[in-house]
Amino acid sequence: MKPYEWMVTYTPQTEWVEHRGILLWLAFFFIELGAGTFLISSLFDNLPGMLTGWLICAVLGGGAHLIYLGHPLRFWRIFISSGWKTSWISRGMYFVTLFLLLGIIYLILGSQANQAVPLLVATNIMAFLVIIYGGFAMNFVNGIPLWNTAILPILYVVSGLWGGAGLTLVITMAAGATKIGMAVEEWTRLLLVGFIILLAVYLVSIRYGSSAGKISVREMVRGKWAPLLWIMVIALGIVLPLGVVISSYTAGLTAIPVALLYIAVFFELTGDLAMRYLILKCGFYNPLVPVHL
């Protein structure tokens, strides 16, 4: 790249996806997956699933988030500033902290008491906010048209819940709770259909929304990162789980080999991870200086 070429051409953002930026990609994924697993598991009163979700969010998500920071030991400054009024990262830290606090209280104390419903409702509200804040944090960046769309937070909510439902399905089936597994599987069907529709609407709307958006989508669909989209996201992440879902719908969940179910959920999660990578990697800025220069 020639000196300053990045200022007159469409250039991808790198800080949130390259070098230590990889940690942020993982942090967003694990935080939303953990919260989604907790939320879906709680609907079926599945304590192992809730605990798993909590641990994923706290250890993998929170850990990656902290290590990513240039000065991790200063993270407490987020809580003493008024940044939450405008900053989605600040709000996200509050949501995650409250979710983890309320979640652990529920898991230790509340799950054994009969009057724990308000606590669980509060925890689930926080879990939902944890799932959605990453989408809003990216939506705020108006220099990158791929991110600056209202569909992104909704897409992240659906993918977070979908991943959570998949993980909950694995946990319930592994525990031999087939009846609950069947109920969870119905959720995954709905969320999978929702995810497919939203992803298609998202890509089409971005493609025709702006020139930078067009370049972002072209990079995903036909460019350097096309194999990741078509193989990891579409073929393995969507088509394979869709085949399993259709089979279970027609033949029943018990007719599906458990190993195949696990494989489908594994690829569902890796497909989700790949989609998030693509959205970060193909986030192109508009040129800084007008094109006529």
Partner 1 sequence: MARWGMAIDLVRCLGCQACVIACKQDHNIPSGVNWCRVITGEIGTYPIAKLESWPVLCNHCYEPKCVNACPTGASAHREDGVVTIDYDKCVGCRYCLIACPYQARTYLSKFEQYFPGQGWLPSEEIAGKTYQTGVVVKCTFCTERLEAGQKKGLNPGVDREATPACVNICPAEARYFGDLDDPESNISRLIVERGGIQNHPEYGTDPSVYYLR
- Residues of this chain that bind partner 1 (CB under 8 A): 4, 6-8, 11, 13, 15-16, 19, 21, 68-72, 74-75, 77-78, 81-84, 86-90, 93, 137, 140-144, 285-286, 288-289, 292-293
CB count in 10 Å sphere of residue 170:
22
CB-based contacts of 132, cutoff 8 Å, min separation 6: 153, 156, 157
The type of residue at 192 is L
In the complex, minimum distance from the CB of residue 126 to partner 1, in angstroms, rounded to a whole number: 18
Helix 47-55 with 151-174: angle, nearest 10 deg:
130
Nearer to partner 1, 12 or 163 (CB): 12
CA atoms within 13 A on the CB side of 253: 21
Closest contact distance (angstroms) between CB of 90 and partner 1 is 4
What SS3 state is found at 18? coil
DSSP E strands in the chain: the ranges are: 11-12, 284-285
* Nearer to partner 1 (CB atom), residue 153 or residue 237: 153
In terms of CB distance, is 198 or 276 closer to partner 1?
A: 276
Cβ closest to partner 1, residue 153 vs residue 241: 153
Which residues, 6+ apart, have CB-to-CB distance to 40 below 8 Å?
49, 161, 164, 165, 168, 184, 187
Least CB distance from residue 237 to partner 1, whole Å? Answer: 26
CB of 213 to partner 1, least distance (A): 14
Q: How far is the CB of 78 from partner 1 (least distance, A)?
A: 5
Minimum CB separation of residue 83 from partner 1 in Å reads 4
- Alpha-carbon distance of 267 to 29, in angstroms, equals 14
**In angstroms, rounded to a whole number, what is the distance separating the alpha carbons of residues 273 and 170?**
18
Q: Which is nearer to partner 1, 139 or 172 (CB)?
A: 139
Q: How far is the CB of 18 from partner 1 (least distance, A)?
A: 11
Residues present in the chain in total: 293
Q: Which is nearer to partner 1, 81 or 254 (CB)?
A: 81
If the CB atoms of residues 41 and 90 are measured against partner 1, the closer one turns out to be 90
Alpha-carbon torsion angle 141, 123, 83, 157, nearest 10: 0
